A and B are shown apart, each in its own frame.
Chain A
Amino acid sequence: MSEGQSSSRSNFRESRLDEIRREAEEFGTVQKPGIRAAGAPLPKASPNTGYYNQPLFKEPQWTPLVPLYFFVGGAAGSLGVIGSLADLLGGDDALARKARHMATAGSAISSVLLIADLGRPSRFLNMLRVFKPQSAMSVGSWVLSGFSAFAAASTLADILDTQIDGSPIATFLRTVGRTGCTVLGMPFHNYTGVLIGASVVPVWNNRIRSLPREFGMSGLQSAVGLLELAGETESSALNAIGVFAAALESWEGLELLRTRDRALSPTKEGVAGALVQTGGILSGPVPIALRLASLFSRRNRRGLRKAAALSGIVGSLCLRYGWVAAGSASTRDWKIPLDIPEAGRVEASATTSTVAI
């Protein structure tokens, strides 16, 4: 093959390019003024190598605040649902109040993170100029704004309650807040999966179906974990939700491992892969084991619950950062958008060598 290449090289008169290529092949880089060449052999443009192996897609240009927002938003949305349903169905007032307050704080932090990531933060309100159902970013902005308002309403009701007994305003705010937090908490806790899935990034749109499930369950689990770390280690209901979320996370993790698709390789290789896999273990089998163990342990019950909580939270963070990093790695794969097989096209390379000879 190398003989074929050199013979084809002598065939054309682009001697300057010839020289650059020879040097790159020999030394790996070209150290000449006016040239930025790294890596060798330098590819040609062909149906087999695309345009000199240059990636077609642009890398996501989000700051590290975005995966953090995915985490906080996922937890806040789930906390809103838990906070609204806990006192309605379970009669656990203290837990419900804590969940509502954490949801309010979480939605406020979410907004701050999202605004800070914008290229022009002062123009955040432009997000609310239009509502576009075909844009997950637009839907998400409205859901975040609405959820924040409802969460704030329910927290305001709690504050009013401490000042006035049986205020009708507080009852109204609580009812509206609780309903709104449940209805909007549902999309808020998992829409980020749709957001990245409905993009051109191959590793993301390949998992458009599982990303909302994975991000949603991950958010639910971090909500449970945050409540437990805030002292709610006695609630059996929370433990049950934790086991449920971790079980589904384990299933999603196994599905990802089982699926063989080259678009998914960034979730299995490199730093991004390590993060996704670690996240899967920490938010799947580890918390299940710890939560089940807590049922049988009298002495260490609280400790085990808190360990499970921490594992779920760290796992959720790993998953978000891992998936976003995998997206960046995925856009650097120049073969996928051009439908070029991983090993290259057999026919095409055969034709090239005939031409070279």
Chain B
Amino acid sequence: MSGATDHTGIQPGEVTAFLTDSTLCIGCKACEVACKEWNGIEADGFDFKGWSYDNTGALGHSTWRHVKFVEGKISPGVGGNASEQISWEFSSDVCKHCEVAGCLEACPTGSLVRTEFGSVYLQPDICNGCAYCVISCPFGVVQKNEDDGRAFKCTFCTDRQKAELMPACAKACPTESIKFGRLDELRVEAQVRLATLQARGMTDARLYDPIESSVKGIHSMFIIRGEPETYNLPPRPEVPTVYLKEGWKSAAIEAVAMVGAVCASFLLFGRKG
């Protein structure tokens, strides 16, 4: 997938994905920069948050790739670490392009759509800034730009993909920590990589791909070490449409009760006095 050729050879209609491998990430943030450059989004400033060397903080309307800085346990021998050095685990976060996407379901204008590559795309020329997607994303990705008025998120470089180019972040990644390819192929590649890591003694390596949840799988999978919580990845993400049935049922019962109460009151006490 991530060979030296420029063209991906992936045609529209094929489902594409990211596999972001934190065991290969060196935290250079080339993906963040490449994303900003290709998509023309504003800078976030250069201040360290203080709690780490992270100066990005979180994904947002102007941040579509975010390199997380996680301090792992001291694990001698793995990755060439000296015994008294902490092991930095970097992980480049991105929109998950969920199989069942909360933002897409919630969008009342149809601005958010499913692309021919299976990803979730926000059409800025349609978005009217209602901000309902913001509270419908189980990964806290979409955000409204208050200055612009519209919501923004990762486009999965759909424009590049249409030209058979890989997304800018994957292209810029110097260690191939960000792999881009067909979803089914990357799922296999992830298992192969995990087996390699396990064999090398990195027993806490695992794949984050919540297929069992109501999100039904993501198109941006992550190889991480240890618990997903450390990376702010929810162990059980939930697409909020799962609450709809209960909500509408309750609303219907209440509405009938209201009409009943109004009818009864006017029938019994309708005349003045």
With both beta carbons as reference points, the residue of chain B lying nearest to A37 in the complex is identified as: B50
Q: In the complex, are the beta carbons of A194 and B244 less than 8 A apart? A: yes
A-B CB contacts (within 8 Å), total count: 308
Q: Taking the complex as formed, is A54 at the interface, i.e. its CB lies under 8 A from any CB of chain B? A: yes
The interface stretch among B25-33, B101-109, B173-181 is: B101-109
Q: Is the CB of B258 within 8 A of A209?
A: no
Residue in contact with A191 in the complex, picked from B73, B251, B263, B269, CB distance below 8 Å = B251
Interface segment out of the listed A78-86, A160-168, A257-265: A78-86
Which residue of chain A has its CB nearest to the CB of B52?
Answer: A52
Q: A42 — which chain B residues lie within 8 A by C-beta?
A: 50-51
B263 touches A137 (CB 8 A): no
Q: Which range holds the interface residue count of chain A?
A: 35 or more
Q: A51-B70, A193-B247 are in contact. Are A213 and B135 (CB under 8 A)?
A: no
Quick check: A61 and B68 within 8 Å, CB to CB?
Answer: no
Interface range on chain B (Cβ under 8 Å from partner): 35 or more
Assembled-state Cα–Cα distance A61/B150 (Å): 11
Q: How near does chain A come to B110, taking the closest CB pair, in angstroms?
A: 4
B266 near A90 with CB under 8 A, answer yes
**A134 touching B241 in the complex, CB below 8 Å, given contacts A58-B140, A81-B258:** yes
B80 to chain A, nearest CB (A): 14
Q: A35-B48, A58-B134, A58-B140 are in contact. List 10 more A-B contacts (CB 8 A).
A: A89-B263, A90-B267, A118-B149, A119-B131, A126-B109, A130-B108, A137-B106, A213-B253, A237-B266, A337-B234
Which B residues have a C-beta under 8 Å from some C-beta of A? 46-54, 57-58, 60, 68-71, 73-74, 84-86, 102, 105-111, 126-132, 134-146, 148-151, 226-227, 229-232, 234-236, 238, 240-241, 243-244, 246-248, 250-259, 261-273
Residues of A within 8 A of B (CB): 11-14, 17, 20, 24, 30, 34-38, 42-48, 50-62, 78, 81-82, 85-86, 89-92, 117-121, 123-124, 126-127, 129-130, 132, 134-138, 140-141, 182, 186-187, 189-191, 193-201, 205, 208-213, 216-217, 220, 234-241, 244-245, 248, 327, 331, 334, 337-340, 355
